[in-house]
Amino acid sequence: MLPELEEELLVFEEKLEKAIGHLSGEYATLRAGRANPKVLDNITVDYYGSPTPLKQMANITVPEARMLVINLFDKSATKETIKAISASDIGINPTDDGKVIRLVFPQLTEERRKELVKQAKKMAEDCKVVLRNERRDVLDKAKKLKKDMNFSEDELASFEKDVQKLLDKYIESADGLYKDKEKDIIEI
């Protein structure tokens, strides 16, 4: 294979890897039955006038399977932190005992589980769309390179097969992540 095409293949694989990593990160923030500190990753608190990620302001622990305890480094930010958590879309009301903030995750209802499974499915489908778009882009680049460098149809066909093999592998990976998350959500 031509070095230019090999380089394109490596860049393509890197982009696919990033898409799968993004999906994995999104799944980590999706609330299932157990408490997971990752659900707080997207929460920012107005700390002295600047938006600060909650995970930089506190020590977050999981003392029980369905409870998170947030121990703020600066107790004066408690009120703002509670406000930020309440305003977020995690759907849990924080409780404050003066020392720490507790988040108790309720048992998921059947309806909520189905909703979460749908959300996870949509995330997987969005990821697959990104993967397919990357395939389209890399094949367009290869066709442009073929015009510019005048290499054979066989080399292009071989490159297309390699791209498709990689794409299939990463789509399978996205499906695997979805199946694992679905099992995690449905598990009682």
- Note the pLDDT tens digit of each residue in 54-82: 889 999 999 988 889 999 999 888 999 99
Q: Where are the domains of the chain?
A: 3-29+109-186, 37-104
> Which CATH number describes the domain made up of 37-104?
3.30.1360.40
pLDDT at residue number 179: 95
pTM for the model: 0.72
pLDDT at residue number 29: 76
Report the top-level CATH class of 3-29+109-186: mainly alpha
What percentage of the chain carries pLDDT values higher than 90?
A: 48
DSSP states along the chain: --HHHHHHHHHHHHHHHHHHHHHHHHHHHS--SS--GGGGTT-EEEETTEEEEHHHHEEEEEEETTEEEEEESSGGGHHHHHHHHHHSTT----EE-SS-EEEEPPPPPHHHHHHHHHHHHHHHHHHHHHHHHHHHHHHHHHHHHHHHH---HHHHHHHHHHHHHHHHHHHHHHHHHHHHHHHHHH--
Farthest CA pair distance, the chain: 72
- Note the pLDDT tens digit of each residue in 29-51: 776 667 778 888 888 999 988 99
pLDDT at residue number 45: 92
Q: What is the mean pLDDT of residues 104-132?
A: 90
At residue 149 the predicted structure's pLDDT band, cuts being 50, 70 and 90, is confident
Mean pLDDT of the chain: 89
pLDDT at residue number 69: 93
